Amino acid sequence: MSRQVAAALVDLSGTIHIDKTAIKGAKEALHKLKKAGIKVKFVTNTTKEPLRLLHDKLTSLGFEIDRSEIFTSLSAARQLVERKQVRPFLLLEESAKEDFKGVSEDDPNAVVIGLSRSCFNYDCLNQAFRLLMDGASLIAIHKARYYKTNDGLCLGPGGSAQYCEQKIEDHSIQL
């Protein structure tokens, strides 16, 4: 008895694109999947840009992707923040905070860590440290040690997440 493939989960970064460059053959492969009637959902652990900008980048690269077909780790983190009813201190790029629009950041009782070149500095990390020492929850969106761009490998948020984990007794929630 043969089984038909009904759906495929496709990672984005490193699978169909690297930074602002489409990977050779990716568009054709996706077209074949869709032509065969296979539903495609795109998943990513990227935390450096909101869904809107990610979708815009992919369509500008020539991918025919509907925004509703993309599920990001930022989306998962927002769902977790809402379910746990916490007020996050967001260690994210300003643009990525767009995916948390409407979520209260007043009097934070949780720290959410993603990739943020602008927030991985003493002041931001010290604020996160103080919140964690006062009992805030830690939500590490992902713990990648590095990621690839067109100009080479770059540090990921993993080191910062692990540093923060050492400051609390419980491990972080990792998405």
Q: What is the DSSP letter of 7?
A: E
66 plus 113 within the same structural domain: no
Cα–Cα distance list, 144 to 7, 59, 98 (Å) = 27, 26, 22
Q: Calculate mean pLDDT across residues 133-143.
A: 88
Residues 160 and 96 in one domain: yes
- pLDDT surpasses 60 at 171: no
- Global pTM exceeds 0.95: no
77: CB partners within 8 A, 6+ apart = 47, 112, 114, 139, 141, 175
Task: Note the pLDDT of residue 168.
Answer: 66
88: which 2 tokens? 């996050």
Report the CATH number that the domain containing residue 24 is assigned in CATH. 3.40.50.1000
Both 106 and 52 in one domain: the answer is no
pLDDT confidence of residue 167? 62
Q: What is the pLDDT of residues 87-130, one digit of tens each?
A: 999 999 999 999 999 999 999 999 999 888 888 888 998 999 89
pLDDT reported for residue 19: 84
Domain that holds residue 61: 7-72
Would 2 be classed as within a structural domain? no
The per-residue pLDDT for 107 is 97
Q: Determine, yes or no, domain membership for 1.
A: no
Q: Are residues 94 and 53 in the same domain?
A: no
Q: Worst-scoring range by mean pLDDT, 41-45, 67-71, 159-163?
A: 159-163
Q: Report the distance separating Cα 31 and Cα 55, nearest Å.
A: 17
Q: How confident is the model at residue 154 (pLDDT cuts 50, 70, 90)?
A: confident
Average pLDDT, the chain: 88
Domain count, the chain: 2
In the prediction, which pLDDT does 22 show? Answer: 94
Among candidate residues 42, 72, 102, the one where a domain is terminated: 72
Of 38-42, 43-47, 70-74, 98-102, the range with the lowest mean pLDDT is 43-47
Residue 20 lies in a domain: yes
Once rounded to an integer, what is the mean pLDDT over residues 7-13? Answer: 93
Quote the pLDDT of residue 175.
Answer: 58
Residues 14 and 63 in one domain: yes
Last residue of a domain, one of 72, 99, 118: 72
14 belongs to a structural domain: yes
Q: How far apart are CA 42 and CA 49, in angstroms?
A: 15
Residue at a domain's end among 72, 96, 127: 72
Same-domain check for residues 114 and 154:
yes
